[in-house]
Structure 1
Amino acid sequence: MNHKIRMAALGAVTILGALAGFGQAASAAGKNVLWVQPMRDHPVHRLMQAGFLEKCKELGNTCEVVGNPSATNYDVSASIPLAEAAMARTKFDAIAVYGPGPEIFPFIGKLGKEGFPVVTWHVLPPEGSVPGLKAAVGEDIPSAGQSAAIAMGEKLGGKGVIALTQGSSNDTENVMADSFRKTMAERFPDIRILETQMEGFEPSAAEAKAVALLQGNPDVTAAFSTTGNGAQTWSGAARKADRPLVIIGMDYIRQNLDLVRSGAAYGVVAQPLYEESARTAELANDLAEGKAVPYLNPLPAGVITAGDLEPYYAMLDRAGQ
């Protein structure tokens, strides 16, 4: 082989090697994942986003969060255009959509028809019930209601009257409240639960409703709220009404942990907000890579009280919350 032919052959090998290396780099490149969450700025939602973004960074992915910028107004119609605008400027490999109610299901179906793998979190709709949905991760919702009922029933010594409130009527809170009632009836039949009231998501309005409920029901000795601000709602109402209450709310956001530590609330259900969101990032990544994933991914949720707080404070510190 003469010198020119040998050099050409070596050049071809070099180019092929470079192309092979480029292919390996491309296959290893991070994914683009979109996170769609109405009421984006609610403190519970921000904690979810922290778990998602931390796992995205660990996986080497680029992830974007969109949703209507509010801490009190759950607005699907305002969030979908923001998602579509993000999709117009960035090619996403997978999309995570917060889907606690049917109003957002058509958007998930649309994404599925367009070829996007879609994951939801915090709710576990039955497989096949939401067209386009490839996987769901979230707490075992009935067990969360059951855990709250057992913790509260034991604290009350099996006697008392409970006020039960929800943020709104939705698949997550409805199931949790039903499980709470069922467990309480089975385990503590002498405890009475009032008719469920919707406290909403605006803090001052929710507290005013709770105060009015206490004024109208002087026999109430405890309150369980299935929404993230519930511990704050009921501790504020108890203070204003000057009524001692056994209070259990939802979620280990810092404000709620502080209430438990101070004794203003008895406990909170440790919905696995950070964990389920990190798992959502993993599922989206795997789907983007064409891997098979389990559709249902349930996570446990127990009640934490004053002696259980430190690991959750540490988690919030890591998340910058």
Structure 2
Amino acid sequence: MTNLGKLLAGAAVLGLSFGLAPAKAEDPGPFRCAPGDLYAMNVMVSGVEYWFPVYEMFKQAAKQMGCDTVYTGTPEYDVTKQIASFDQILARQPKGIMVHPMNSDPFIEPINRAIEQGTAIVTFAADSPNSNRTAFITSNNDLEGQGAADAVAEAMGGKGEYAVLENPGQDNHDRRIAAFIGRMEAKYPDMKLVARAASNQDPNKAYQALLSMAQAHPDLGAVFMPEANSALGAAQASVELGGKIKVMTADVNAKILDMIKAGEVFGSINPNQGMQGYIGFITLFLAAHPEMIDPMNGDVAAGKNPMNIPFIDNGYAVVTAENADFFYWDSYLKRRGTKGIDE
């Protein structure tokens, strides 16, 4: 045996003599999933690009914590079909679901049933406040509506006629519209609301509605809608009318970004989707592991989940022609080297 071999052997014997245990694998810590733990994200109109960056960062946080994820939902704008997709993933008994409830009240029973089953629920972008969901993460829809109003009014010199297109019944959209109108009334008294119509995320309805509005109100100078699909139709109508109507929307996709850069859409209010997904997942994980939390209140003693956060604000950005290049989904995926919702 070489001198080095004798030295190592002697060290091993000495270690055993003094009761030194062999080194153990590093403790993974509390923020780790057990193998196979599944967390889901559930939405309606699942092909809408808005959801993709949310899931991208939801997925990243999960991978960093050793968890499995799945993207689920329905391609239709149909609350019954979304609830069916919610129940389908619930049948797999995931640890948690981060859900965008299309309508608040229809989701009360499915959310409460999921929690009773042992699946944690966090809502995002739209809420079901009367359910037992543990937390709600979104951009502040009131601030978004106000920011959109400021951008439009300032561009019009604080004077002129405007209209809104709506999706009644979807909580976050209703809030954006109400805040937009409220801001105009409170801060810009010379801005006059002359028309409103329900487009329900349908570009064709938005197109026809804006043409009718412009015919009835020849001095119409701007229109605001709380989501991007309606903006596609509204922008087409505005172009056909000579481009005099400023189209202000919320959320972006590649087509909207192209139209902003081309001057066909005035601008967009875009929630910070990545933070919505990343912080949303961490919140969901904690909701699924209430044993990690012992706040200075009576929740634990009362058998309640101590992870109870009524509202988390993930922030938003105002997208204009100057910064639109930062918001293209394909470029984002290429930079990150991932496959988005397909992985």
Smaller-chain TM-score range? 0.7 to 0.9
Structure 2 partner of 1:179:
179
Cα gap change, 1:288 to 1:17, in 2 (>3 Å): farther
3-state SS of the aligned residue for 2:161?
strand
Cα gap change, 1:77 to 1:118, in 2 (>3 Å): same
Per-residue deviation, residues 11-41 of structure 1 (Å, max 9, x unmatched): xx9xx999x8699699653531022212222
Mapped pair 1:95 → 2:117: no
Contact in 2 for aligned 1:251/1:271 (Cα 8 Å): yes
CA distance in structure 2 between the aligned counterparts of 1:59 and 1:24, rounded to whole angstroms: 9
CA distance in structure 1 between the aligned counterparts of 2:88 and 2:102, rounded to whole angstroms: 22
Equivalent AA in structure 2 for residue 40 of structure 1? S
Give the drift of 1:234. 1.8
Equivalent AA in structure 2 for residue 283 of structure 1? T
Structure 2 partner of 1:34:
40
Which structure 2 segments of 5+ residues have no match?
1-15, 294-306
Cα gap change, 1:50 to 1:214, in 2 (>3 Å): farther
Give the drift of 1:245. 1.6
3-state SS of the aligned residue for 2:44?
coil
Cα gap change, 1:23 to 1:298, in 2 (>3 Å): closer
Q: Give runs of aligned pairs for residues 207-246 of structure 1, distance below 5 A.
A: 207-246=207-246
Contact in 2 for aligned 1:163/1:220 (Cα 8 Å): yes
Contact in 2 for aligned 1:225/1:231 (Cα 8 Å): yes
Structure 1 partner of 2:88:
85
CA distance in structure 1 between the aligned counterparts of 2:28 and 2:59, rounded to whole angstroms: 25
Contact in 2 for aligned 1:34/1:65 (Cα 8 Å): yes
- TM-score, reference length from structure 1: 0.82
- TM-score, reference length from structure 2: 0.77
Cα gap change, 1:51 to 1:17, in 2 (>3 Å): same
Equivalent AA in structure 2 for residue 265 of structure 1? V
CA distance in structure 2 between the aligned counterparts of 1:85 and 1:186, rounded to whole angstroms: 46
Q: 1 or 2, which has the higher helix percentage?
A: 1
Contact in 1 for aligned 2:44/2:102 (Cα 8 Å): no
Aligned with 1:62 (options 59, 65, 68): 68
Cα gap change, 1:191 to 1:96, in 2 (>3 Å): same
3-state SS of the aligned residue for 2:227?
coil
- Higher alpha-carbon deviation: 160-169 or 183-192: 160-169
Give the drift of 1:218. 1.3
Greater Cα radius of gyration, structure 1 or 2: 2
Per-residue deviation, residues 33-56 of structure 1 (Å, max 9, x unmatched): 022212222232344333323333
Give the drift of 1:190. 0.7
Q: Give runs of aligned pairs for residues 1-321 of structure 1, distance below 5 A.
A: 29=34, 31-68=37-74, 70=75, 73-88=76-91, 90-101=92-103, 102-123=105-126, 129-290=129-290, 291-292=292-293, 293=307, 295=309, 296-313=311-328, 315=332, 317=334, 318=336
Contact in 1 for aligned 2:123/2:136 (Cα 8 Å): yes
Give the drift of 1:258. 1.4
Cα gap change, 1:262 to 1:86, in 2 (>3 Å): same
3-state SS of the aligned residue for 1:306?
coil
Which structure 1 segments of 5+ residues have no match?
1-9
Contact in 2 for aligned 1:169/1:198 (Cα 8 Å): no
CA distance in structure 2 between the aligned counterparts of 1:316 and 1:244, rounded to whole angstroms: 35
Contact in 2 for aligned 1:166/1:196 (Cα 8 Å): yes
Contact in 1 for aligned 2:205/2:233 (Cα 8 Å): no
Per-residue deviation, residues 70-113 of structure 1 (Å, max 9, x unmatched): 2xx3222223333333333x331111121252222221111122
CA distance in structure 2 between the aligned counterparts of 1:186 and 1:49, rounded to whole angstroms: 37
Equivalent AA in structure 2 for residue 301 of structure 1? Y
Equivalent AA in structure 2 for residue 119 of structure 1? V
Q: Percent identity?
A: 19
Per-residue deviation, residues 178-204 of structure 1 (Å, max 9, x unmatched): 111111112211111124211122323
Equivalent AA in structure 2 for residue 60 of structure 1? G
Per-residue deviation, residues 105-162 of structure 1 (Å, max 9, x unmatched): 221111122222110101356xxx4332111100111100110111111000011111
Structure 1 partner of 2:6:
none
Equivalent AA in structure 1 for residue 69 of structure 2? C
Equivalent AA in structure 2 for residue 34 of structure 1? A
